[in-house]
Structure 1
Amino acid sequence: MIAALPMYDRPETTAALDALWAGVRDHLGYGPRHLTRDLAYDAAWGREDLLLGQICNLPYRARHRDDVTVLGAGDHRLPDTPAGYYTSVFIVRAEDAPRGLAPAALGRFAYNDALSQSGWGAPLAALTARGLQFHTTLRTGAHADSMAAVATGRADLAAIDVVTWRMLERWDPLAAQVRVIGRTGLSPAQTFVTAKTNDPTPLRAALQAAIVGLSPDHAETLQLFGFATLPKSAYDIPLPPSPTGTCADTLQSAAI
């Protein structure tokens, strides 16, 4: 039996995530003593022994609907955003911000992975709705690396999960070199899940209680202030095409 919450796990959030899991375990009355951190972030999603995990809505929609049961999503208290949803922010270098989104899209777009809603699916939909398209793409592997690519001039535009962006603003010096120039549409935030064989009811109650019981400092660190149960229809979003159309970069790969 494992519990893994890798989506916002970084050195600055370790203690807060440990406290969240301890709260879930205490309310539930069982579970592993510690979060699993020695697996790739996506390795737990298909495991039958997954007690509690967290998944981006795009890999859930594309690959894992039959593997996990959705418990709900966090309330991050984002402006103009219902509980359980989030957006991505478009970022460019500070000196390029006055030019706006359309010229930036003509340059190189840095995305973390083809199976990322926040880094690829949502920004693609936002540009398409504006009659724009990405002309050149660069796969980076992580949101922080996408931001770094923009800050250092290897890319001209990126889209970052807004919760990750808040963390990068707080802890990554490179964030000072970029500016937000727009946002994507709404989609379900990083989603708490459990293996299909588990009863979701006690897990949902324990998770909600643990989130409510977080100290103000831990809640602020995780940008996690509540819990929302979303309708199944919230995840009925069309799958995006691959950034490059190559076999190495299709929706058969997995990422946040």
Structure 2
Amino acid sequence: MIASLPMYLRPENRDAHDAWWARIRDALRVRGIDAPDALSQDAPIHATWGRADLVLGQICNLPYRSAFKDRVTLIAHADFGLPGTAPGDYHSCLIARADDPRATPQAFDGATMAINAADSHSGWGAPWMHMQVHGYAPARCVTTGAHRDSAHAVAEGRADFAAIDAVTWAMLTRWDGVTQALRVIGRTASSPGLAYITAGDVDPAPYRAALAEALNALPPAARAILGIRAITPADPARHTALPIPPAPPN
């Protein structure tokens, strides 16, 4: 069996993740759910989503609705208290270089966009939806593999703009100097945030209760590092109602 919570993992918050998992693990076991002693944080993310022995993981809502909705159970979202965003939802910050004179996302029509992955809602799905409403599109996309790497690609001039998960953007602002070379030029609409999942079709209630109980038991310093304010229920229908974007232009 395996548990992995890798989506917002950084060296600065790894200890806090481990402390939270220790409490989640114990809360799951009290509820009769077997759980591994430690997180497998370095396991390949896509591979964990398809494992029949996944006890707890995280998934972006684009791969969930496009490939995994019939294979996993949505449990809950974390509420990070993002401004102008409902609890448990998130949005993407549209960013460009600080010295780029283009002031709006629409001004980047025909530009080069950095994306973390083609199956990322925050990196591609949400901005694609924004583009449909506001009438612009990139001429090509550079795939970087991670939101942090997309930010660096823009800062270094390998791309003109990118969409960065707002939670990741907050962490970059806190812990990574790259944001000093960048600025926010807009934001996408809100949508369901990264979801906690487990394998198969099961009752999510005891898992959700374990997450909430563990969060409440977490020392304030660790909770502040994670930035999680609460655990909110997940509604699969909100995920599956979103469109599947086309492949990004190469």
* TM above 0.5: yes
- The yes-or-no answer on 1:227 pairing with 2:202 is no
Partner of 2:100: 96
Q: CA deviation at 1:84?
A: 1.1
Deviation of 1:211 after TM superposition, in Å, equals 1.8
Whole-angstrom CA distance in 2 between matches of 1:116 and 1:142: 10
Write the distance in 2 (CA, Å) between the matches of 1:23 and 1:133. Answer: 45
- Confirm or deny that 1:169 pairs with 2:173: yes
**Matches for 1:1-256 after TM superposition, within 5 Å:** 1-29=1-29, 30-96=34-100, 99-196=103-200, 198-235=202-239, 236-244=241-249
**Residue 135 of structure 1: how far off its partner (Å):** 1.9
Deviation, 1:148, is 0.3
Q: Kindly state the Cα deviation for residue 197 of structure 1 after the two structures are TM-superposed.
A: 5.2
User: Match of 2:19, as an amino acid?
Assistant: A
Partner amino acid, structure 2, of 1:2: I
Which letter maps to 1:213?
A: A
The 3 A distance-change label for structure 1 pair 208 and 9 is same
Q: Deviations over 1:159-195 (max 9, x none)?
A: 0000011111111111110001110011111100001
- Cα RMSD of the aligned pairs, angstroms, is 1.5
DSSP 3-state at the match of 2:57: strand
Please say which of residues 173-182 and 189-198 is displaced more in the overlay. Answer: 189-198
Instruction: Decide whether the 8 Å contact of 1:97 with 1:181 is kept in 2.
Output: no
- After TM superposition, the score normalised by the length of structure 1 is 0.91
Contact preservation (8 Å) 2:85, 2:190: yes
CA distance in 2, matches of 1:110, 1:128: 18
Distance 2:161 2:63 in 1: 23
Answer whether contact 2:130 2:189 (CA < 8 A) is retained: yes
Per-residue deviation, 1:140 = 1.0
SS of the aligned residue for 2:185 comes to strand
Change (3 A) 1:25 1:97: farther
Q: Which amino acid aligns with 1:13?
A: N
Partner Cα separation in structure 2 for residue 92 and residue 175 of structure 1: 10
What is the letter of the counterpart of residue 189 of structure 1? G
In structure 2, distance between residues paired with 1:173 and 1:200: 39
> Normalising by structure 2, what TM-score?
0.93
Q: Is the 8 A contact 1:76 1:84 kept in 2?
A: yes
- How many equivalent pairs are there? 245
- Letter in structure 1 aligned against 2:194: Q
Displacement of 1:131 in angstroms is: 1.5
Where in structure 1 are there 5+ consecutive unaligned residues?
Answer: 247-256
Note the alpha carbon deviations across 1:74-110, whole angstroms, 9 max, x for none.
1110111111100000000001265322222332111
Given that residues 121 and 239 in structure 1 are in contact (C-alpha distance below 8 angstroms), is that contact kept between their aligned partners in structure 2? yes
Query: Does the aligned pair in 2 maintain the 1:88–1:119 contact within 8 Å?
Result: yes
Q: How far is the alpha carbon of 1:198 from its aligned partner?
A: 4.6
Query: 1:201 offset after TM fit, Å?
Result: 2.5
Q: Deviations over 1:22-53 (max 9, x none)?
A: 11112122411100124112211011101111
Identity %: 46
